[in-house]
């Protein structure tokens, strides 16, 4: 396996006869394809009010694990609070969640044996779960995220604040509207079917730079915030009907763009 290390990720093993059905009733995406075949599903855990708490991958690796375990691949910063939340929901379900010694590797190009394509976007390459740490990172992942509007936990994705439809989970294959009930499903479905989203992520042109989270203004109005920036572009969270051709984020000049 020749991939980059992802030292900011934590891996859990989820076992027990109720493992998949337990997670299926909690997360935003449909995990049923993992019942019968290897795969990777990106999903979110939400509050009952539909706000983002955490995002993670649920994985059935190509090579079967002991006890037929599923893996959860999650940002380390989100792991403690997410584990507490999952434990709270467990009740009498026959499921165990335990730390895994496996480490996450990722890379671009042809996936090596044991890896799976990142399910969010082809530009994100592949992910693998191995005994080895992987090489030092060299890929500019922020540039890839900016180019394809892919939010990151702790940056664009804010626990107890973000809504996943405003954060682009639908085009990134992170939500399923046919799977049935899960925590926060009612609010998410209502946002999909009964309202027009007035706010959301957009790729913008940036002249200069600004700290992550800097307010974007147009005259006296606060239009949104500027987040990840790379190569003269950035990911912004904007109120769409307030966007103007020229906006400010601190000393940086921000403009809407339709480039991909």
Query: Average model confidence (pLDDT) for the chain?
Result: 95
Token pair belonging to 183: 């925590």
pLDDT in tens, 235-246: 999 999 999 999
Q: Which residue has the tokens 């165990």?
A: 96
Residue 194, pLDDT score: 79
pLDDT at 259 > cutoff 70: no
CA distance 236 to 161: 15
pLDDT in tens, 123-180: 999 999 999 888 999 999 999 999 999 999 999 999 999 999 999 999 999 999 999 9
| All residues at 6 or more sequence positions from 211 whose CB lies less than 8 Å from its CB, including other chains | 250
Residue 6, pLDDT score: 95
Q: Which domains can be identified in the chain, with CATH numbers?
A: 4-146 (3.30.70.1400), 198-260 (2.40.30)
| All residues at 6 or more sequence positions from 231 whose CB lies less than 8 Å from its CB, including other chains | 143, 146
Q: For the chain, what percentages of helix, strand and coil (3-state, to nearest 5) are there?
A: 20, 35, 45
| All residues at 6 or more sequence positions from 158 whose CB lies less than 8 Å from its CB, including other chains | 52
Q: How many angstroms separate the most distant Cα atoms in the chain?
A: 59
Model confidence, pTM: 0.95
| Higher-pLDDT residue of 196, 249 | 249
CA distance 222 to 225: 8
Residue 82, pLDDT score: 98
Residue 1, pLDDT score: 58
pLDDT in tens, 38-93: 999 999 999 999 999 999 999 999 998 999 999 999 999 999 999 999 999 998 89
Whole-angstrom CA distances from 120 to 36, 41, 58, 124, 163 are 21, 9, 13, 7, 17
Burial grade of 146 (CB within 10 A; 0-12, 13-18, 19 or more)? buried
Token pair belonging to 203: 């790729």
CA distance 179 to 171: 17
| All residues at 6 or more sequence positions from 122 whose CB lies less than 8 Å from its CB, including other chains | none
**End-to-end alpha carbon distance in the chain:** 31
pLDDT at 223 > cutoff 90: yes
Q: What are phi and psi of 125, to 5 degrees?
A: 70, -135
pLDDT in tens, 1-22: 579 999 999 999 999 999 999 9
């Amino acid at each position: 396996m020749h991939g980059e290390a992802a030292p900011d990720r934590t891996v859990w093993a989820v076992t027990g006869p109720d493992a998949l059905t337990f997670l299926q009733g909690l997360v935003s995406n449909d995990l049923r394809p993992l019942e019968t075949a290897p795969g990777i599903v990106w999903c979110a855990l939400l509050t009952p009010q539909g706000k983002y708490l955490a995002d993670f991958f649920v994985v059935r690796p190509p090579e079967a694990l002991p006890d037929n375990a599923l893996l959860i691949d999650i940002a380390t910063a989100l792991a403690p609070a997410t584990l507490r939340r999952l434990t709270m929901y467990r009740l009498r379900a026959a499921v165990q969640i335990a730390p895994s010694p496996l480490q996450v590797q990722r890379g671009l190009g042809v996936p090596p044996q044991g890896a799976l394509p990142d399910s969010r976007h082809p530009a994100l390459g592949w992910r693998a779960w191995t005994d080895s740490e992987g090489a030092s990172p060299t890929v500019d992942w922020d540039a890839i995220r900016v180019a394809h509007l892919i939010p990151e936990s702790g940056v664009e994705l804010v626990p107890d604040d973000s809504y996943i439809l405003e954060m682009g989970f639908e085009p990134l294959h992170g939500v399923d509207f046919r799977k049935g009930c899960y925590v926060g499903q009612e609010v998410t479905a209502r946002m999909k079917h009964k309202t027009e989203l007035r706010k959301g992520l957009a790729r913008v042109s940036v002249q200069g730079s600004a700290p992550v989270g800097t307010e974007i203004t147009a005259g006296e109005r606060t239009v949104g915030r500027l987040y990840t920036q790379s190569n003269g572009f950035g990911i912004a969270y904007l109120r769409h009907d307030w966007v103007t051709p020229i906006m400010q984020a601190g000393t940086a000049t921000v403009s809407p763009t339709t480039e991909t």
